[in-house]
Amino acid sequence: MIFPKEPKKRVTYKVIKEYIEAKYGFQVHTAYIAEVKRDFGLLMYDASNAVEELKQPRKHTTKEKVEAIKDALKYFVVIGVIY
């Protein structure tokens, strides 16, 4: 008997943020998640609400938060464990 595969659940920024807060006890901004994803060359979609020019320059995230985001991406199999 062949069982239908369960559809792959979408890994949203909200899910990643909740995972990081539960495991590490701090919050990360979605811009930091996007920055880490860009560093890995992952597919990024254009946001419909993006502005052309920021009012203030965006600060880069701390190394601790980058590692937490990488861990979350590995946990949800967005990136491989070799990173």
Percentage of the chain modeled with pLDDT above 90: 45
Nearest-angstrom CA–CA distance, 39 and 82: 15
Are 72 and 19 within 8 A, CB to CB?
yes
Distance, in Å, from the CA atom of 11 to the CA atom of 69, rounded to the nearest integer, reads 13
Could you tell me the two tokens for 44? 């990024």
DSSP for 13-69?
HHHHHHHHHHHHS----HHHHHHHHHHTT---PPPTT--SS-SSPPPPPPHHHHHHH
Per residue in 18-52, pLDDT tens? 999 999 999 999 989 999 998 988 877 777 777 77
pLDDT for position 79? 73
pTM of the shown model: 0.77
Share of the chain above pLDDT 70, in %: 86
Listed by start position, the domains of the chain span 11-43+59-83
pLDDT of amino acid 3: 53
- Judge whether residue 6 has pLDDT over 60: no
